[in-house]
Amino acid sequence: MIRSKNLLLYLGLILGLIVSVFPFYWLAVMATRTTPEIYSFPPKLWFGSHLFDNISRVFDSIDFFRTLLNTLFVAAASTVLVLFFDSLAGYTFAKFSFPGKKWLFVLLLATMMAPAQLSLVPSFVIMAKFGWVGSFKALIIPGMANAFGIFWIRQYAEESVPSELLDAGKIDGCGFFRLYWNISLPILRPALSFLGAFTFIGAWNDYLWPLIILNDERKFTIQVALASLNGIYTTDYALVIAGTLLAVIPLIVMFLFVSKQFVSDIAAGAIKS
Amino acid sequence: MGEPLRQPLEPRQVHAVSAKRKWSSAIWKHRKEYLAISPFYILFAVFGLFPILFSMYLSFQKWDGISEMTFNGINNYRFMLTDPEFWKAVRNTLLIWIYSTIPMLFSALVVAFLLNASFVKFRTFFRIGYFLPNVTSLVAVSIVFSTIFSNNYGLLNYIFSLFGLNPVEWLNHTWGIQLAVSFMVIWRWVGYNAVIYLAGLQSIPSVLYEAAKIDGASGVQSFFRITLPNLRPIILFTVITSTIGGMQIFTEPQVLVGNDGGANGGGLTIVLYLYREVFINNYFGYGSAVGWGMFVLIALFSIFNWKMVQGSGAK
């Protein structure tokens, strides 16, 4: 009786898992098929033989590696800058006292409630004034220090960076920056790896803002390039699908490396806030 | 810092000056700390606060982004409130939010409960599998789902045909587009919310359940008396985040059915409307007003949801 209940429960879990994972399988299957096969009825549910053919057409129609490099550059630069500025600020909030600290932190938390959608239009106007439209600067610089990351690092630093260690460092003649760089940063590594993965994934997948900012095909990030492929090649859908597969794979691979810790940190972050 | 002065009665002026000096010297002493936290505040001032104030100003202007601005009074707001397209976008956004959020949070809760059962093995594996959709790009998701919901030869219509049902032209109907968009949202966010609920369930001390069991409480009773009350703050968090996210849906309908929202504009959400008015039609002033309209809507709706979740737990 109890065993059959357990079985039912596993069945439910596996069914849900299939729904979660099936679209990836379906994407991979379609990427190996020709366009008529994709639209055939009944649909082909097993792999075909046109994967390399489709991929080579993707390479012919867009400069895929350039797009990939653009995306990598934007995501990596955003991640490095966010990690640096957020950890420096978060650690400072956690380990030092200075006049107005409490108010500044409350202000920081309050900015998280500032509505992002409001600033879409004026942000674009500012970027135009700076001459940053079409430039990666517009994608990287506005987000290089953010309230969530500072909050996240502060929580972690408060618990994990021992004040005695900082005092000892001070006695040994470490300056403010050395205390941060040589002593605290290594301790913060677990918190940094989550924040880094989170930032990287977000930057990699970002669509609306790059769509508005990037106006030159040579600067497209992968999401913008993908959407434009989807708009242009409506008759060669196998090409679009193969491009989609290529855009999804790098991130999935990266995610699987960090996934275990990442998923529990996401939950921890939600529960803390 | 010098020796404190030991004068029992200082003239008020001198006192004030020394206090001021003390303050500025304290700030100077901590200049490195201020420098360390300053990047965030500078960035927020330039790219967060200023745009918000500027959008308030812009919303009263008539401007195509190139020529001179002209003052337009409240006409932008008046036009917004009388434009049927705007209200259609509001209605679509709310409908998509309802179609997606309720099944999404409910399924997430079920998944979290299943995963929380004591005997479940491979819990990490399941969590990662369920979470995978959440890290996938929305553009890619929308492209894949467009083949699933495709009008004639889509995968879903094939499944329908297996059950002897007629094919549905999903993307030719308002409700079909909205269901497709909602399904994408559900698919992408169930795992995320389930992982959060699971962490919430695991943080409830098991002592509570044991005590309830000793007192003869049934499983259902302990669900309503222990689990739900302890989970309430987390449910509130997920409701608020999905409200904010749901009001800003853009990529799914834009990739699925294009800038006009497809057949009868069924996929025209507020952000898509805003995007179209500003970046396709160049109504910069009007777009700013729409941004404020959306902000008010999100605020009202968040407060409403907050009261609902709070209220339902108060009994």
According to the model, what pLDDT value does residue A70 have?
A: 96
Measure the CA–CA gap between B1 and B81, rounded to whole angstroms: 62
What's the CA gap between A9 and B110, in Å, rounded?
10
Which of A58, A20, A125 minimizes the C-alpha distance to B126?
A20
Q: Is the pLDDT of residue B2 over 60?
A: no
- Give CA B7 to chain center in angstroms: 59
The label of the residue with tokens 């490095």 reads A80
Query: What pLDDT is recorded for position B106?
Result: 93
CB contact under 8 Å between A17 and B141, yes or no, is no
Those of residues 238-297 in B touching chain A at CB distance below 8 A are 238, 247-248, 250-251, 254-255, 258, 271, 274-275, 278-279, 284, 287-288, 291-292, 294-295
Give the A:B interface size as CB pairs under 8 Å: 264
B201 min Cα distance to partner chain A (Å): 11
Give the residue from B289, B290, B286 showing the smallest Cα distance to B269. B290
Residues 6+ away with beta carbon under 8 Å from A41: B152, B153, B158
Q: Which among A78-87, B72-81, B154-163, B243-252 has the top mean pLDDT?
A: A78-87
Q: What is the pLDDT of residue B5?
A: 45
- What is d(CA A114, CA B223) in angstroms, rounded to the nearest whole number? 36
d(CA A87, CA B143): 37
Beta-carbon separation of B130 and A115 below 8 A? no
Instruction: Kindly indicate the confidence band of residue B13, based on its pLDDT and cuts at 50, 70 and 90.
Output: low
Question: B1: pLDDT confidence band, cut at 50, 70 and 90?
Answer: very low
Q: What angle do CA A93, A140, B192 make, to 5 degrees?
A: 70
Interchain CB distance below 8 Å, B136 and A125: no
pLDDT grade for B174, boundaries at 50, 70 and 90: very high
Query: Helices A222-232 and A237-272: crossing angle, nearest 10°?
Result: 140
**SS3 label, residue B61:** strand
pLDDT digits (tens, 9 = 90+) for B178-202: 999 999 999 999 999 998 898 888 8
b/e code A204-235 from CB counts within 10 Å (16+ = b): bbbbbbbbbbbeeeebbbbbbbbbebbeebee
Q: What are A153-201's pLDDT values in tens digits?
A: 998 898 889 999 999 998 988 888 999 999 899 999 888 988 998 899 9
The first and second tokens of residue A169, run together, are 């460092």
Tokens of A65: 């590696």
Q: What is the pLDDT of residue A2?
A: 58
**Cα angle, residue A226 at apex, residues B262 and A149 outer, rounded to 5°:** 100
The residue in chain A having the minimum alpha-carbon distance to the alpha carbon of residue B55 is A122
List helix spans (H) across chain B. 12-29, 31-44, 50-58, 75-82, 84-116, 123-131, 138-148, 155-162, 174-202, 206-214, 219-222, 228-247, 251-257, 270-275, 284-314
Query: Cβ of A251 and B145 within 8 Å?
Result: no
A4 vs B171: CA distance, rounded Å: 41
Quick check: B274 pLDDT over 60? yes
pLDDT tens track for A106-147 = 999 888 877 677 788 889 989 999 999 999 999 999 999 999
pLDDT at B293 over 60: yes
CA–centroid distance for B89 within its chain: 17
Inter-chain CB proximity B143 and A226 less than 8 Å:
yes
pTM of the model: 0.87
Chain B CB contacts of A205 under 8 Å are 135-139
Cα B166 versus chain centre, distance:
36
pLDDT band for position B287 (cuts 50, 70, 90): very high
* Closest CA–CA distance from residue B129 to any residue of chain A (Å): 6
B266 and B174 Cβ atoms separated by less than 8 Å: yes
pLDDT band at B15 (very low <50, low <70, confident <90, very high): low
Test A126 with B50 for CB contact under 8 angstroms. Answer: yes
Using CB atoms, pick whichever of B124, B127, B158 lies closest to residue A41.
Answer: B158
pLDDT at B18: 67
Put simply, the answer to whether A118 touches B127 (Cβ < 8 Å) is no
| Cα B176 from chain centroid (whole Å) | 23
Q: How confident is the model at residue B73 (pLDDT cuts 50, 70, 90)?
A: confident
Residues of chain A contacting B80 with CB distance shorter than 8 Å: none
CB contact under 8 A, A119 and B195: no
Whether residue B77 is predicted with pLDDT greater than 80 in this model: the reply is yes
pLDDT in tens, B240-264: 888 888 988 999 999 999 888 888 8
Answer yes or no: do A23 and B141 touch at CB < 8 A: yes
Q: Which of A41-45, B16-20, B285-289 has the lowest mean pLDDT?
A: B16-20
Which residues share a beta bridge with B62? B70
The three-state DSSP-derived secondary structure of chain A is CHHHHHHHHHHHHHHHHHHHHHHHHHHHHHHCCCHHHHCCCCCCCCCCCCHHHHHHHHHHHCCHHHHHHHHHHHHHHHHHHHHHHHHHHHHHHHHCCCCCHHHHHHHHHHHCCCCHHHHHHHHHHHHHHHCCCCCCHHHHHHHCCCHHHHHHHHHHHHHHCCHHHHHHHHHCCCCHHHHHHHHHHHHCHHHHHHHHHHHHHHHHHCCHHHHHHCCCHHHCCHHHHHHHHHHHCCCCHHHHHHHHHHHHHHHHHHHHHHHHHHHHHHHHHHHHC
Which chain B residue is nearest to residue A176, measuring alpha carbons? Answer: B32
Type of residue found at B4: P
User: What is the pLDDT, as a whole number, of residue B154?
Assistant: 85
Which burial class, exposed, middle or buried, applies to A271 when counting CB atoms under 10 A from its CB (0-12, 13-18, 19+)?
Answer: middle
Which candidate from A96, A107, A114 shows the least CB-CB separation from B33? A96
Among candidates B40, B124, B190 on the partner chain, residue whose Cβ is nearest the Cβ of A108: B40
Reply yes or no on whether the pLDDT at A214 is more than 70: yes
B196 vs chain A: nearest CA distance in angstroms?
4
Nearest 5°: the CA angle B273, B277, B278 is 120
Residue B289's nearest CA partner among B72, B93, B143 is: B72
Query: Residues A138, B75: contact at Cβ < 8 Å?
Result: no
| Inter-residue contact A146 to A203 (CB < 8 Å) | no
Say whether A118 and B138 touch across the interface (CB within 8 A): no
Q: What is the pLDDT of residue B315?
A: 40
H/E run at residue B248: none
Reported confidence tier of residue B312, pLDDT bands at 50, 70, 90: low
Q: Which of B44, B144, B199 sits opposite A111 (nearest CB)?
A: B44
Chain A's closest residue to B237, CA to CA, is A270
- pLDDT of B74 strictly over 80: yes
Q: What CA–CA distance (Å, rounded) separates B134 from B141?
A: 10
B238 is written with which tokens?
A: 């997920």
The percent of residues in chain A predicted with pLDDT above 70, rounded, is: 98
Q: Backbone phi, then psi, for B61, in 5-degree steps?
A: -115, 155
Overall average pLDDT of the B266-277 stretch = 93
Q: List, for residues A38-53, the tens digit of each pLDDT value.
A: 888 788 889 988 899 8
- Residue B260 is given by DSSP the state T
**What's the mean pLDDT in B142-170?**
88
